């Protein structure tokens, strides 16, 4: 027998909370399946759910109970006002990364070329392509499967960009006015304290890096100067405990760069800019 939307959410919340899982995922899948805004969900909270939607919701909650991310269950994730297709081939875009994109968009209004390195779903690069229409954006990823998702998002959003399969800069001989990247930065030894949904379902290639999470940063900074135009800049996201190590790395490997660190909305150091 079907339930009202309010009853369904209460049922899901009790189940998920008992399992130690954030019940917000149930609200997200329900709203996405029904194509509701938050206000519409409130408006329809006492309406009886269609039987097929109630059956689907029960299946979705069972998947949530296995720690599967809500965004993978419904196949989309929000970022900067758009819905991006996501699959387990790509990381789920995080709201914190919107701050990195806003920083780039604010400062790079005259840039002619930009590179989103390790694009995943394309959330960063496609958003910047919309916000910086004068900039020719290139989106690259080492994973062809990830790049296929980014291409689908570009097609659905009708955004024109260039795509390249590349391990960091290996297949990218050009120079760019700016490079933006969210590199893998989680140390394998942090696995015991990680969120189970991330650990079980998101692509490890995009999450983990050796040498205490710094290995990919080290490769990146070694090649970076050869891929920026004169006066170019790079913008990076990193783990909130990595600022001291990155300061040391940047000072040693890129003494010619002016380095700026920024904190995120939770007041954690999470972003850096390297200005050449």
Binding-site members for S-adenosyl-L-methionine are 118-122, 141, 182
Helix (H) or strand (E) holding 123: helix 123-131
Distances from the Cα of 1 to the Cαs of 47, 52, 194, 248, 268, in angstroms? 14, 11, 38, 61, 47
Contact 86, 72 (CB under 8 A): yes
Q: Angle at Cα 2 formed by Cα 57 and Cα 5, nearest 5°?
A: 60
Q: Which residues pair with 45 in a beta bridge?
A: none
Beta-carbon contacts of residue 29 (< 8 Å; ≥ 6 apart): 57, 60, 61, 64, 70, 73, 74
Start-to-end CA span in the chain (Å): 64
Distances from the Cα of 77 to the Cαs of 15, 25, 261, 272, in angstroms? 23, 12, 27, 25
Residue positions in the annotated binding site?
A: 118-122, 141, 182
**Cα four-point dihedral sign 97, 100, 101, 106:** positive
Contact 104, 180 (CB under 8 A): yes
C-alpha to C-alpha distance for 230 and 51, rounded to whole angstroms = 61
C-alpha to C-alpha distance for 85 and 149, rounded to whole angstroms = 7
């Amino acid at each position: 027998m079907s339930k009202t939307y309010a009853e369904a959410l209460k049922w899901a919340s009790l189940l998920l909370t008992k399992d130690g899982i954030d019940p917000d995922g149930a609200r997200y899948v329900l709203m996405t399946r029904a194509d509701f805004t938050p206000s519409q969900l409130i408006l329809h909270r006492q309406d009886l759910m269609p039987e097929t939607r109630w059956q689907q919701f029960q299946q979705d909650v069972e998947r949530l109970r296995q720690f599967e991310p809500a965004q993978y269950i419904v196949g989309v994730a929000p970022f900067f006002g758009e819905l991006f297709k996501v699959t387990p081939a790509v990381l789920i875009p995080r709201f914190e990364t919107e701050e990195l994109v806003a920083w780039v968009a604010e400062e790079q209004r005259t840039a002619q070329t930009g590179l989103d390195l390790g694009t995943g779903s394309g959330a960063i690069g496609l958003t910047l392509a919309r916000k910086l229409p004068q900039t020719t954006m290139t989106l690259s990823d080492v994973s062809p499967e990830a790049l296929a998702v980014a291409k689908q998002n570009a097609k659905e959003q009708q955004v024109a960009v260039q795509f390249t399969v590349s391990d960091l800069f290996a297949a990218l001989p050009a120079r760019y006015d700016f490079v933006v990247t969210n590199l893998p930065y989680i140390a394998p030894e942090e696995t015991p304290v990680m969120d189970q949904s991330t650990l079980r379902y998101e692509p490890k290639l995009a999450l983990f890096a050796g040498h205490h999470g710094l290995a990919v940063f080290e490769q990146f900074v070694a090649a970076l100067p050869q891929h920026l135009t004169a006066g170019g800049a790079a913008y990076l996201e990193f783990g909130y405990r990595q600022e001291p190590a990155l300061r040391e790395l940047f000072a040693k490997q890129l003494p010619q760069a002016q380095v700026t660190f920024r904190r995120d909305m939770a007041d954690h150091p999470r972003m850096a800019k390297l200005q050449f």
